[in-house]
């Protein structure tokens, strides 16, 4: 029984030391399982050859692009590079090289889950066989089985291509890094800890400031109708070039 806590501690330490790896592994497994459910429950290849051609390709590539776009917009690096870029000064603007490097890294990271979907879909073979077969309603026909086998071979070729390209790109980026291996690891750990500390400090600071403004609102027990109207305005201060982040803060500071 004493081995169980030690095992859980080891797993916890492993998760903390490689969070990105385990997150990607979880998303890959989720994507693969989702594809199987999607193909079994939703996908029904039509009997008409013309309709089946579009039907199969749409089912193959639509989830791929949807997952890719979702991964892009959920990546903080992407928004960190884009957010507020229109109003940045020359000193704070990202250089072309930095912007390109950041977007390329974000692009490659966002391809992990969509590539898993595409690989599993090609390995399943139903989508491609449905699109290319002359008898999409007969899964036992030689024509259907031929295109299904071709899809599976393309799936394995795609996997090898992704692994090779990913390995080459990773090696190239690491070879061009001016930091040593340990220095790069320290930088990664530091930025992770810095983000956690910054998030904590922002929460605490926002809590203090918010309490001040809310306290000022209820200083006289019940605010007047005019005050309620002012703080009930649409929150347009987020995009304004001011230091106000809410109508309540703007009212209390005026």
pLDDT in tens, 10-59: 545 544 555 556 566 777 777 777 777 777 778 888 888 889 999 999 98
Long-range contact pairs involving 156-163 (C-beta distance under 8 Å, separation at least 24): 156/123, 158/115, 158/118, 158/119, 158/122, 159/119, 162/111, 162/115, 162/119
Candidate from 66-80, 86-100, 173-187 with smallest mean pLDDT: 86-100
Q: What is the pLDDT of residue 70?
A: 87
Q: pTM of the prediction?
A: 0.73
Mean pLDDT of 169-173: 86
Q: What is the pLDDT of residue 230?
A: 78
Please report, for residues 66, 105, 112, 212, 240, the alpha-carbon distance to residue 70 in angstroms, rounded to integers and kept in the order given: 6, 16, 12, 38, 27
Is residue 127 pLDDT above 50, yes or no? yes
Is residue 94 pLDDT above 80, yes or no? no
158 band by pLDDT with thresholds 50, 70 and 90? very high
Q: What is the pLDDT of residue 240?
A: 55
The per-residue pLDDT of the chain, averaged, comes to: 81
Which residues, including other chains, have CB under 8 Å from residue 43's CB and lie 6 or more apart? Answer: 59, 126, 127, 130
pLDDT tens-digit readout, 207-247: 998 898 888 888 877 777 877 887 787 665 555 556 777 88
Mean pLDDT of 172-196: 89
Q: What is the pLDDT of residue 1?
A: 46
Is residue 149 pLDDT above 80, yes or no? yes
């Amino acid at each position: 029984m004493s081995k169980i806590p030690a095992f859980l501690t080891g797993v916890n330490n492993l998760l903390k030391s490689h969070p990105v790896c385990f997150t990607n592994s979880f998303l890959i497994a989720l994507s693969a399982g989702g594809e199987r459910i999607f193909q079994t429950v939703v996908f029904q290849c039509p009997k008409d050859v013309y309709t089946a051609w579009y039907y199969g390709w749409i089912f193959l590539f639509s989830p791929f692009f949807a997952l890719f776009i979702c991964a892009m917009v959920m990546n903080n690096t992407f928004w960190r590079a884009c957010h507020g870029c229109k109003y940045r000064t020359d000193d704070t603007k990202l250089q072309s090289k930095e912007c390109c490097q950041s977007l390329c890294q974000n692009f490659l990271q966002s391809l992990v889950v969509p590539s898993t979907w595409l690989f599993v879909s090609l390995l399943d073979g139903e989508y491609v066989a449905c699109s290319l077969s002359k008898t999409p309603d007969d899964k036992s026909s030689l024509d259907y089985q031929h295109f299904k086998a071709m899809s599976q071979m393309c799936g394995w070729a795609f996997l090898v291509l992704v692994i090779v390209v990913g390995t080459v790109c990773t090696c190239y980026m690491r070879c061009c890094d001016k930091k040593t291996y340990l220095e790069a690891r320290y930088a990664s750990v530091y930025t992770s800890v810095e983000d956690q500390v910054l998030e904590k400090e922002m929460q605490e600071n926002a809590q203090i400031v918010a309490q001040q403004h809310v306290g000022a609102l209820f200083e006289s027990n019940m605010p007047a109708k005019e005050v309620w109207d002012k703080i009930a305005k649409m929150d347009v201060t987020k995009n304004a070039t001011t230091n106000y982040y809410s109508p309540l803060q703007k009212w209390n500071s005026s």
